[in-house]
Amino acid sequence: MLYHARQLPSAVVAIVGSGLSNKLARSWDLRAIDVATPWGDVTIHQYSRSDRPAYVLFRHGIPHRWLPNQIPYKAHAWAIRATGCGALLSTSSVGILESTLPLNRLLDVKDIVMLDNRLPDGSACTIYDEPSEQHGHLVLKDGLMSADLRSQLRDMLDREDNADNTVLKGPVTFAYVGGPRTKTVEENRIWRSLGAEVNSMTLAPEIVLANELGIPCAAIVAGHKYSTPKEHAPDSDGSLSLSLDDSGAILARLVTLFLEQGQPVPFRNLIYRFHS
């Protein structure tokens, strides 16, 4: 087990979602590690073909176990810190609200909208649920997305051949919408009218919690469907699986690159603590 919760940030971690979990688990050389956290053990996977410590966290478990509302976000964030994470890349398949954005392309998330800042159980999205010496306000000087890490990722992708699956589109504003159901037509219309361009039922909670733990974050997503009034939901169980697979494939190359080339960056937000 990993217990060194406060080691120097030398590792990189990627979170992968429902689109690419099983496929990646088979193609990558991963070693499962159990990490003890105050909210139970978490299995995180070490990626072996990297010079620095590099880890993958399967957001829904592997095999797929948790619906979006069942994900143990606090335990996940804690386990990520325990690796000594200095750069977190979160990925997700998303619904696209803005019809001019392409499906199945990498979309750089510039900002997050999570209006109620709550975990799936309804409680405030924070590690600091109880009074303690360490607790404080996360003050977003840099934003939830690290400017340094976003630059690093853009440069990393620019160095690759200019294939469709390594061109970074956007940037886009991501809205967090609680699961586990898809949104109604009117709900999607409202999120678009508020400025959101993509949405999904995950990603934002882990980004907020990781920032509270001092971890610089970035998020790159891929649209697996349009969530616009004119478009329709996938026709059947089968076609939804297919569209998730497509968005998973486009994200797989990115995650591999990041695990092999990603580097820690400085944390530029602030945990503000009151002192008597």
Stretch that binds its own copies, among 49-57, 140-148, 216-224, 253-261 (CB under 8 A): 140-148
Q: For residue 126, give the nearest of 115, 114, 138, 134 by alpha carbon.
A: 138
From the list 65, 151, 164, 266, which residue makes contact with its own copies (rule: CB under 8 A)? Answer: 65
* Residues paired with residue 30 on neighbouring β-strands, in sequence order: 47
| Consecutive H or E run containing 137 | strand 137-139
Q: One-letter amino acid identity for 21?
A: S
Interface with its own copies (CB under 8 A), residue from 13, 177, 220, 254: 177
- Residue 36 or 240 with smaller CB distance to its own copies: 240
Peptide bond into 63 cis (omega under 30): yes
Q: Which of 102, 137, 151, 242 binds its own copies (CB under 8 A)?
A: 137
- The residue count for binding its own copies (CB under 8 A) is 71
In the bound complex, what is the minimum distance in angstroms from residue 113's beta carbon to its own copies?
5
The answer to whether residue 123 forms part of the interface with its own copies (CB under 8 A) is yes
Interacting residue with its own copies among 99, 117, 155, 266 (CB under 8 A): 117
Q: How far apart are CA 218 and CA 144, in angstroms?
A: 8
Does residue 121 bind its own copies (CB under 8 A)? Answer: yes
220: left (phi over 0), alpha (psi -120 to 50) or beta: beta
3-state secondary structure (DSSP) of residue 222? strand
Q: Binding residue for its own copies (CB under 8 A) from 98, 111, 231, 260?
A: 111
Of 53, 136, 171, 214, the residue at the interface with its own copies (CB under 8 A) is 136
- H or E stretch covering 165: none
Bridge-partner residues for 24, per DSSP?
none
In the complex, the smallest distance separating the C-beta of residue 90 from its own copies, rounded to whole angstroms, is 15
Structure tokens at 263: 């580097």
Task: Note whether 214 binds its own copies by CB under 8 A.
Answer: no
118 or 154: CB nearest its own copies? 118
- Specify which residues 137 forms β-bridges with: 272
Residue 231 interacting with its own copies (CB under 8 A): no
Does 273 engage in binding with its own copies (CB under 8 A)?
yes
Which positions from 183 through 212 interact with its own copies, judged by CB under 8 A? 183-187, 189-190, 193-195, 208, 211-212
Kind of pairing, strands 217-226 and 85-96? Answer: parallel
Any contact of residue 6 with its own copies (CB under 8 A)? no
- Phi/psi region, residue 130 (left: phi>0; alpha: psi -120 to 50; beta: rest), is beta
